[in-house]
Structure 1
Amino acid sequence: MTKLLIGLTVFTVMTTWQRGRGLVTAERAQLEGRLPEFIDDLRSGKVSTLRIPGTACSSTAASRQRRRAPNPRGDSF
């Protein structure tokens, strides 16, 4: 009986998750447009992009950690 209850619970969670994901995806596509169309617009030049020389974005494992800025006075708290 316990295994059946666990299976039913997992099934309910997964089907709810799948339905919610579909609803969120549909709503996002309606509000923002579809991603492949946006990428095509970027490549064709329909959407302008602003590029600033000397700037870059990078995603590394270190950027996900919270880091504190160095203290300009040199003392630590």
Structure 2
Amino acid sequence: AADDALAHEITVLHIASRRTYGVPRIHAELRRLGHRVNHKRIARVMRERDIRGVTRRKHRSLTRADTKAKPAPDL
């Protein structure tokens, strides 16, 4: 029953984070809210209920072609 209540709290936090938070951030949020829970228990509950964090990164190209440059000669 305690794991079900914890799973509900984890699910609420996970959805509020746009499904990006993993175990470390969920643990930090629960600690901030006053819950005393071990990170291993959080990891186990998340694993059992298939809740996973995602890394979202901006994809940017660092190389930009010079449009005014002359093409290399065909050797």
If the length of structure 2 is used for normalisation, what is the TM-score? Answer: 0.28
- Larger CA Rg, structure 1 vs 2: 1
Greater share of residues in helix: 1
Flag the structure with more relative contact order, 1 or 2, with Cα contacts below 8 A and sequence separation at least 6. Answer: 2
If the length of structure 1 is used for normalisation, what is the TM-score? Answer: 0.28
